[in-house]
Amino acid sequence: MKKLLILLITIVLSATFINAATGKVVGGANHSVPSWFKLSFLDISEDAKEAQEKNKHLMVFLDLDGCPYCDKMLKESFFPKNRTSDFIKAHFDVINIRITGEKEITWDENTSMSEKEFAQKMKIYFTPTILFLDGNKNIVTRVDGYRSPGNFLHILKYVNGKYYKKMQLDEYLNRVKNKNLYKLKPNKLFSNISDLSSVSGPLAVILEDGSCTQCDYLHNVTFKNKDVEKELKPYTIVRLDASSDKPMIDISGNKTTPKKLALDMNLTYRPTILLYNDKKLKLSIDALLYSYHLKERLRYVSGKYYKKFSTYHEYSRARKKELLKEGVTIDLSN
């Protein structure tokens, strides 16, 4: 009996050790798309032409199982009856593509591929990614990552009004956005530097303006996460007002202004975070990111992991395996 008891205790302790040593991913969000999305055979040419015949554009909503940003955007801009969802229904045919899916997509009579292959071809790195196509399958506008209902409505009006024939999206948004939604606030993290070329080492440039709907969240939630705080420590952090014409020097030593910098880089989201190291831009974060995804991008640049991994996404896959092996719980939620 004594030997049996020792054996049972050993088994229990071993199982406990194994479970403790294996991490897990939590915070994902299971989601579905609205029933009014178009039932499509994923023949893109046919879908684009049918949309054009109804004086509409084709919207392709690319998502990923468990994506918290997809879930948030669907719940805010597609499922509820509001100005944004009403505008989508009136002016767009919407189809859904899963970026890891295996359904066959027909691009033209000579080209077909799986959903996964299509996502790779289109270089989809953020979910949701939303593609807007005209009747000839030209991608007239692309949105990478979450957008709030108000900001997304501006983009929808840009596409529906065919303003893409006259100007870039960032220029249009700069004209139509309400600049009185947010007041830039001081933060002890920020350095008062107007010459970016004077900074040696990791540099984070945050572009905000009065239209920002996610800046308070960045300051009050994301930047107060202990893991994000840790990864911010190697950085010199500079906050710029993206609507300002105040003279400054960019990372290459050229004269510019925050407004011109944002327009030159076609930045359509606020707050945008630009991450530099070795005097070069390494990552541009032009969408909402929760704490885990932000802290890993910060680590990728400050740790110079771009020298080992050619893309952030290669690093991200390897890093995820490393953390899980170490028994770390990866929380994808905010």
Judged by average pLDDT, the poorest of 4-18, 86-100, 106-120, 140-154 is 4-18
**Residues 97 and 208 occupy one common structural domain:** no
201: which 2 tokens? 């080492």
Which of the residue ranges 19-23, 83-87, 95-99, 281-285 would you say has the lowest mean pLDDT?
A: 19-23
Mean pLDDT of the chain: 94
Q: Which amino acid is at 251?
A: I
* 248, 199 contact by CB (below 8 A): no
Single-letter code of the amino acid located at 7: L
> How many Å apart are CA 196 and CA 167, to the nearest integer?
29
Q: pLDDT digits over 213-243, tens only? A: 999 999 999 999 999 999 999 999 999 999 9
In angstroms, rounded to a whole number, what is the distance separating the alpha carbons of residues 37 and 60? 10
Q: Are residues 285 and 207 in the same domain?
A: yes
DSSP state of 77: H
Q: For residues 276 and 301, is the Cβ–Cβ distance under 8 A?
A: yes
Paired with 93 in beta bridges are 58
How do residues 313-333 score in pLDDT, each as one tens digit? 999 999 999 999 999 999 999
Do the domain assignments include residue 30? no
pLDDT beyond 80 at 203: yes
Q: Give residue 141's pLDDT band: very low, low, confident or very high (50, 70, 90).
A: very high
The total number of residues written for the chain in this structure: 334
Q: Sorting pLDDT into bands at 50, 70 and 90, what band is 254? A: very high
How far is CA 134 from its chain centroid? 24
pLDDT of residue 3: 54
Instruction: Please check whether residues 48 and 134 belong to one and the same domain.
Output: yes
Same domain flag for 134 and 212: no
Is there a domain that residue 19 lies in? Answer: no
Please, what is the end-to-end C-alpha distance for the chain in angstroms? 50
- Is there a single domain that holds both residue 75 and residue 115? yes
Residue pair 37/95 in contact (Cβ under 8 Å)? The answer is yes
Which pLDDT does position 74 carry in this prediction?
Answer: 98
- The per-residue pLDDT for 1 is 54
**Which secondary structure element, helix H or strand E, spans residue 283, and what is its range?**
strand 280-285
Phi, psi of 24 (to 5 degrees): -150, 160
**Residue 318 maps to a domain:** yes
Question: Domain for residue 4, yes or no?
Answer: no
**Residue 279 in tokens:** 């005097």
Looking at the domain assignment, is residue 155 inside a domain? yes
Rg of the chain on CA atoms, in Å: 23
Does 85 score more than 90 pLDDT? yes
Count structural domains, the chain.
2
Question: Are 269 and 149 in a shared domain?
Answer: no
Q: Taking 50 as the threshold, does the pLDDT of residue 128 lie above it?
A: yes
Handedness of CA 182, 188, 190, 194 (dihedral sign): positive
In a domain, 173, yes or no: no
Q: Return the bridge partners of 108, or none.
A: 111
In a domain, 101, yes or no: yes
Same structural domain, 210 and 129: no
Do residue 60 and residue 133 come from a single domain?
Answer: yes
- Where helices occur in the chain by DSSP H, the ranges are 2-21, 44-53, 68-77, 83-91, 115-121, 149-160, 169-176, 215-220, 226-232, 258-264, 291-302, 312-325
Task: Answer yes or no: is 29 within a domain.
Answer: no
Same domain, 148 and 265: no
Average confidence (pLDDT) over 117-131: 95
Average pLDDT over residues 289-302: 98
Domain final residue pick, 150, 166, 182: 166
Domain that holds residue 72: 44-166
Q: Predicted confidence band at 20 (pLDDT cuts at 50, 70, 90)?
A: low
Same domain, residue pair 159 and 200: no
Give the whole-angstrom CA distance, residue 46 versus residue 108: 9
151 and 250 together in one domain = no
Return the pLDDT at 17. 47
- State mean pLDDT over 290-308: 98
Q: Are residues 140 and 213 in the same domain?
A: no
Average pLDDT over residues 96-120: 96
Task: Check residue 203 and report its DSSP letter.
Answer: E
- What's the CATH code of the domain at 145? 3.40.30.10
CB atoms within 10 A of CB 36: 12
Q: Is the pLDDT of residue 19 over 70?
A: no
Average pLDDT over every residue of 286-309: 97
pLDDT at 275 over 50: yes
Q: What are phi and psi of 293, to 5 degrees?
A: -65, -35
What SS3 class is residue 143?
strand
